[in-house]
Amino acid sequence: MAKSASVQLLGSWASPFSNRVQLALKLKSVEYELVEEAFYVSKSDRLVKANPVYQKIPVLIHDEKPVCESLVIVEYIDEAWTGKGPSILPSDPYERAIARFWAGYIDEKLETASGDEEKFAVVGKVLEGFALLEEAFAKCSKGKAFFGGDEVGYLDIALGCFLGWVKVAEIIGGGKLLDESKFPGLAGWAERFLSHDVAKDILPDALKILEFFGKVQAARAAATTAAE
Amino acid sequence: MSKDELFLLDFGLSPFCIRVRIALAEKGLQYKGQEEDLFGGKSELLQKSNPIYEKVPVLLHNGKPILESTNIVYYIDETFASPPLLPACSYGRSRARFWADFIDKKVFDGGAAIWRSKGDELELAKNEFIDILKKLEGALGDKDYLGGEKFGFLDIVLIGSSSWFPTYERIGGFKIEDECPKIGAWIKRCKGRESVAKTLPEPHKVCELVGMLRKMHGIE
C-alpha cells in the first residue's frame, strides 16, 4: 500500500488534462492513487494547497512533492521513471523540440478555441488545427503507427486525450470533424490510439462525457440557486 | 567533421529573443544572426522557418529550425551539455518547467496590459502585474537565483523581460524594488553576470519602442 500511496494524482476521469497524466503513468506501469476532485463545483483545500498558483487539476504528488501542469507532469514522469517502460519523449533533442512545439500548439489552439462562444468559429479553429496536425503526423510518425513511432509517445498523449471530446463535439454539432477523407493520417491514428491498451481503459467515451456535462450543468445550476 | 552552424532569427528588444541570446552566451556558442523587421516585413527565411506563427526567435541549427523561445533554450541545453542550465534532478527540472510556463503565460502579456491601457484599466493592469511578480518572488524565496544557488535556466527565461520593466514602471507609476524587493535584488544580481550584461538592451530603447506602439494603438 505504501508503494501506491507515494504517487497520488489529484485529477478526474473526466478531465482530458488529467487523462494525459494517467496515460503517462500507465505507459510507465506506475501504481498510483487517483484522488477524484469535483473540480467543476469547487476547489478542495487539498487542491489549493498542492497547486496554489492555478488551483487546477491535474496535480501529481510524488513522495509528497507536487508537480503541476499536465505536460510538465508528463515530462516529469518520463524522467522520474527513466528505464521503466518505453520513453515518452523522443531521445533526439531536435525531435523533442518538434514534439514540444506541437504539444504547445495543441494547448494554445484549445485555449483560443475555448474562448470562442460562436460555434462556427470553434469548428473553424478545430479544422484548421487538424489540417496542420495531419502534416505533423506524417512528419513525426514517418509512416509508423503513432506520433511517437512504433510506440505511443508524448504527442500521442498530448493530442489523444481529446479524442472523446472531438466525438462529443461531432454529436452535438452534428458534423464529422475528424473526417477520414480529409485527414486520413489522423483518422487512422485516432482509431489505433483509442484501441491501444494504454488508452482504452482511461479515455472516457463520448456518451460518458455527455452524461458528465449534464451533471456539471445541473451541479452549477444548483450552486447558483443555493447562492441566491 | 561537420561544424555546428547556428543562425538566429532575432529581434533585439524581444524578451524571448534575449533569452536565447543569453543561453547561447552561457554555453559559449558562436552563432550568426539576422535582425527581423517585424513591422516593415518579415524575411522569407522567417516565413519559411516558422510558417504557423511567423514569430521570432527561430534558431536554425545546421539549417533545421527550432521554434518557441523556451523550447529553443531546452534544445540548446540538451544539445550542448556544458555548462548545464537545468537542474540535474527530475523534481527540480519539473519546477523549472512549471515556472517557465508561468512566465511565458503571464509576464509579457501582463506587461502589455499596462502599456495598452490608461485610467482605471491601467490601475487594474498594474496591480495584476505586481501580483504576477509577487508569485515569482515566492518562487525565488530566499535563494540568490530562481534556479537555486547558481544562475540557470529559469533566470534566463525571466531576465529578458527585465529590460521592459522600467517602461512598465514609468507608465504604471510604481517601482518594482518597492513592491517586490527580492525580485529587484535578483535583477541586479543577474545583471552582474557577463552574458546578461552584454545581452540586455538599454531600457530607453524599449521605452521608445513602446512609445511607438502606444501611438499605433492610439493610446498616446
Residues B36-62 pLDDT 10s: 999 889 999 999 999 999 999 999 999
pLDDT at A2: 43
Residue A174 has pLDDT above 50, yes or no: yes
Residue contact B71–A100, C-beta within 8 A: yes
Which is it for the CA torsion B138, B15, A129, B116, positive or negative?
Answer: positive
Category of B57 on φ-ψ map: left (φ > 0), alpha (ψ -120 to 50) or beta: beta
Residue contact B93–A97, C-beta within 8 A: no
- Distance between CA B95 and CA A72 in Å, rounded? 9
Low-confidence ranges of chain B (pLDDT < 50): 1
Q: What is the 3-state secondary structure (H, E, C) of chain B?
A: CCCCCEEEEECCCCHHHHHHHHHHHHCCCCCEEEECECCCECCHHHHHHCCCCCCCCEEEECCEEEECHHHHHHHHHHHCCCCCCCCCCHHHHHHHHHHHHHHHHHHHHHHHHHHCCCHHHHHHHHHHHHHHHHHHHHHHCCCCECCECCCCHHHHHHHHHHHHHHHHHHHHCCCHHHHCHHHHHHHHHHHCCHHHHHHCCCHHHHHHHHHHHHHHCCCC
Best CA proximity match to A203, nearest among A169, A166, A153: A166
For B135-165, letters b (16+ CB in 10 Å) and e give bbbebbeeeebbbbeebbbbbbbbbbbbbbb
| Residue A194, SS3 per DSSP | helix
Could you tell me which residue, A139 or A4, shows the higher pLDDT?
Answer: A139
* Residues of B whose CB is below 8 A from A65: 91
pLDDT at A1: 41
As a residue count, chain A comes to 228
Per-residue pLDDT tens over the stretch B157-187: 999 999 999 999 999 999 999 999 999 999 9
Residue A117 has pLDDT above 80, yes or no: no
Chain B contact residues (CB < 8 Å to A): 52, 61, 64, 66-68, 71-72, 74-75, 78-79, 90-91, 93-94, 97-98, 101-102, 135
Lowest mean pLDDT among A176-180, A218-222, B88-92: A218-222
Global ipTM: 0.95
Q: How many helices (H) and strands (E) does chain A have?
A: 11, 4
A94 exposed, middle or buried (CB, 10 Å; 0-12, 13-18, 19+)?
Answer: middle
Q: How far is CA B181 from CA B70, B80, B157, B185, in A?
A: 26, 34, 19, 6
pLDDT tier, A140 (very low <50, low <70, confident <90, very high otherwise): very high
DSSP bridge partners of B7: B32, B60
- Selected residue of B89, B94, B95, B133 to mutate for chain A interface (largest A Cβ count, 10 A): B94
Per-residue pLDDT tens over the stretch A24-40: 999 999 999 999 998 88
Best CA proximity match to B161, nearest among B189, B126, B133, B139: B133
| Number of CB pairs, chain A paired with chain B, less than 8 A apart | 55
Best CA proximity match to A21, nearest among A198, A197, A163: A198
Lowest mean pLDDT among A117-126, A192-201, B137-146: A117-126
Instruction: For chain A, give the percent of residues with pLDDT over 70.
Output: 94
Summarize the confidence of residues A12-23 as an average pLDDT. 96
The owner of cell 498558483 is A53
- Selected residue of B6, B67, B85, B90 to mutate for chain A interface (largest A Cβ count, 10 A): B90
pLDDT tier, A69 (very low <50, low <70, confident <90, very high otherwise): very high
- Distance between CA B187 and CA B203 in Å, rounded? 13
pLDDT at B1: 43
pLDDT at A3: 47
Residue A228 has pLDDT above 80, yes or no: no
pLDDT tier, A81 (very low <50, low <70, confident <90, very high otherwise): very high
pLDDT at A116: 56
Q: Is the CB of residue A133 less than 8 Å away from at least one CB of chain B?
A: no
Summarize the confidence of residues A151-170 as an average pLDDT. 94
Summarize the confidence of residues A186-207 as an average pLDDT. 95
> In what helix (H) or strand (E) does residue A66 lie, and over which residues does it extend?
strand A65-68
Phi, psi of B173 (to 5 degrees): 70, 55
Peptide bond into B83 cis (omega under 30): yes
pLDDT tier, A223 (very low <50, low <70, confident <90, very high otherwise): confident
pLDDT tier, A123 (very low <50, low <70, confident <90, very high otherwise): confident
pLDDT tier, A119 (very low <50, low <70, confident <90, very high otherwise): low
- Distance between CA B22 and CA B50 in Å, rounded? 22
Residue contact A93–B75, C-beta within 8 A: yes
* Residues of A whose CB is below 8 A from B72: 97
CATH numbers and ranges of domains, chain A = 7-85 (3.40.30.10), 93-195 (1.20.1050.10)
DSSP bridge partners of B156: none
Residue A62 has pLDDT above 50, yes or no: yes
Summarize the confidence of residues A82-103 as an average pLDDT. 96
